[in-house]
Structure formats: structure tokens, C-alpha cells
């Protein structure tokens, strides 16, 4: 699979980076992991065809991770003229929070009948779900966002990928990332442990137990961005494509 990082920033645009959004290409087609508020801009900037995206997987219900969905859905209806079904899958509460976000941003938009089938799934943790051909296993992590936040373990073709979402260190991450081909990990600060977020020092302490084959750091604050190169780890950046 190929992964293009469309957005690798935090909620506040640190480093001029877009909100979280990863574009994954597999043998079936393409899907997104998270769709933060700025994701339609990133999709246009990097020349991604939104109609070729069959599914959008959401880790948690913060604007910088799911706030791009109203824009994506409206673009699909009004400009991209989508006809193919779209599956959106994420934590319990996704259906209501998505409807509220759409009504807040574009009143009346939830009353419009789409020209494509829009399927919103709320995923049960610790179960493997087949979402449009992707094996999705969510693990509950620790991040206050009004609904259960997930780390996602994905089976894509014959590879495994884990994205931590936003979270402080929890044991669930050990299972979510165990032995994966690629672990994309939030690294908000360098060594300052703060509630609900992961710092590099804590992550580095746990990495030997995980056995992840490749680790890429993302979602960095200005503090972490300034010290990222010194870690010697791979750093996600907007627009970069990696193959796994
Ligand atoms: Zn968050």
C-alpha cells in the first residue's frame, strides 16, 4: 500500500501543516484515515480525486480529525458529483456529531438527499470490522472528545497499519500497534508528558515492546517540530508518500 500524508498537523496549524488526513491506496482503490477541517484544501492541493475515495475512517470526534467531513460530503454532492457509495466509519456518536457539525456549518444540509449512498458506521471497539474491504480494529484510547476515542489497527491487503489517533500512553496501544508493518504515532511534545497526548520520550520507551516494523511520527507541536530531526525517526510531512 501507498500512504500519502495529506495533513500531519495539530489542531492549530503548527508548522503550517494541515489537520490530520492520510490517503491510503490499496489494491481495491483508496481511502482516508481521518478528515480534519482543512482536508478538502489538502485534497485539492495534492491533486487527490475525492470520488476515488471509497471510505473514510475516523479515529475521534475532534474538529482537526473529523471536521472536514461536512465539506467532503457537500463537495461530493455539489461539485465532484459523486455517484459511488461512500462509507464513513468511526467511534460511537459519529452519526449525531456529524449531523450536528453539518447543520452548524451548513444549515439544512442534513435534509438534502445525496445522489450517492452515504453509509455511516459506528464501530465497536476490539472487534475487527470489514469496512469497504479494509479490516478495521478499533482500540479505545484516552483523549477527551465527548465520545470514545480510537487508535485504529488496519489490515490492508497483506499489510498491517496502526494509527494511534490522539492519546496519552495506554495499554491498548500495545495491542493496536503490536507487530504492525507501519505505526503512525502522535508525538505532540518531545518529553513533556501531558494529559490526553503522547510525547516522544514516552513513545520511545514503549516502542521496543511493540515490535512495529516502521514508525512514523505525526501531529507535532512547535516544540516537537523543532526537535523532530534530532530524534532520528521518520517524520510525516504534508504531501509525502511512503510505500509499505
Ligand atoms: Zn484530538
pLDDT of residue 217: 98
Cβ(189)–Cβ(221) under 8 Å? Answer: yes
Q: Return the closest-CA partner of residue 4 out of 18, 16, 146, 14.
A: 18
Set of cell numbers at residue 109? 444540509
Q: Return the closest-CA partner of residue 198 out of 3, 10, 7, 4.
A: 10
pLDDT of residue 25: 98
Q: What is the pTM of this model?
A: 0.97
> Reduced to 3 states, what is the DSSP secondary structure of residue 193?
coil
Q: In tens digits, what is the pLDDT along the chain, a chain of 244 residues?
A: 999 999 999 999 999 999 999 999 999 999 999 999 999 999 999 999 999 999 999 999 999 999 999 999 999 999 999 999 999 999 999 999 999 999 999 999 999 888 999 999 999 999 999 999 999 999 999 999 999 999 999 999 999 999 999 999 999 999 999 999 999 999 999 998 899 999 999 999 999 999 999 999 999 999 999 999 999 999 999 999 999 9
Alpha carbon of residue 16 to chain centroid: 18
Cβ-count burial 16-25 (b if 16+ within 10 Å, e if not): ebbbbbbbbb
Give 149 Cα–ligand 1 centroid separation in angstroms: 8
Set of cell numbers at residue 95? 452519526
Give 65 Cα–ligand 1 centroid separation in angstroms: 7
pLDDT of residue 196: 95
Give 236 Cα–ligand 1 centroid separation in angstroms: 17
Give 85 Cα–ligand 1 centroid separation in angstroms: 28
Give 60 Cα–ligand 1 centroid separation in angstroms: 7
As a whole number of Å, the CA-based R_g of the chain is: 17
Domains of the chain in sequence order: 2-243 (3.60.15.10)
Give 216 Cα–ligand 1 centroid separation in angstroms: 18
Answer positive or negative: Cα dihedral of 85, 88, 89, 94: negative
Give 146 Cα–ligand 1 centroid separation in angstroms: 11
Annotation says 64 is catalytic: yes
**Which among 10, 34, 64, 75 is annotated as catalytic?**
64
**Mind giving me the DSSP string for 47-108?**
T--GGGEEEEE-S--SHHHHTTHHHHHHHHHHTS---S-EEEEESTTHHHHHHHHHHHHSTT
Cβ(119)–Cβ(88) under 8 Å? Answer: yes
Answer positive or negative: Cα dihedral of 144, 150, 32, 188: positive
Q: Return the closest-CA partner of residue 115 out of 66, 80, 69.
A: 80
Amino acid at each position: 500500500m501507498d500512504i500519502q500524508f495529506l495533513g500531519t498537523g495539530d489542531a492549530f496549524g503548527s508548522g503550517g501543516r494541515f489537520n490530520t488526513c492520510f490517503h491510503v491506496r490499496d489494491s481495491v482503490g483508496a481511502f482516508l484515515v481521518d478528515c480534519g477541517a482543512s482536508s478538502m484544501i489538502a485534497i485539492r492541493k495534492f491533486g487527490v480525486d475525492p470520488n476515488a475515495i471509497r471510505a473514510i475512517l475516523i479515529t475521534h470526534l475532534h474538529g482537526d480529525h473529523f471536521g472536514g467531513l461536512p465539506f467532503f460530503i457537500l463537495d461530493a454532492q455539489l461539485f465532484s458529483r459523486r455517484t459511488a457509495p461512500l462509507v464513513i466509519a468511526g467511534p460511537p456518536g459519529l452519526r449525531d456529531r456529524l449531523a450536528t457539525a453539518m447543520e452548524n456549518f451548513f444549515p439544512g444540509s442534513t435534509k438534502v438527499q445525496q445522489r450517492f449512498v452515504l453509509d455511516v458506521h459506528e464501530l465497536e471497539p476490539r472487534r475487527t470490522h470489514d469496512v469497504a474491504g479494509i479490516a478495521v480494529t478499533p482500540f479505545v484510547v484516552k483523549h477527551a472528545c465527548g465520545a470514545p476515542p480510537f487508535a485504529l489497527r488496519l489490515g490492508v491487503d497483506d499489510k498491517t497499519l496502526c494509527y494511534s489517533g490522539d492519546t496519552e500512553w495506554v495499554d491498548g496501544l500495545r495491542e493496536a500497534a503490536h507487530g504492525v508493518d507501519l505505526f503512525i504515532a502522535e508525538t505532540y511534545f518531545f518529553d513533556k508528558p501531558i494529559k490526553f497526548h503522547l510525547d516522544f520520550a514516552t513513545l520511545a520507551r514503549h516502542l521496543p515492546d511493540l515490535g512495529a516494523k516502521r514508525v512514523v511520527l505525526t501531529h507535532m507541536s512547535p516544540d516537537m517540530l523543532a526537535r523532530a530531526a534530532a530524534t532520528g525517526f521518520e517524520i510525516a510531512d504534508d504531501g509525502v508518500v511512503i510505500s509499505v
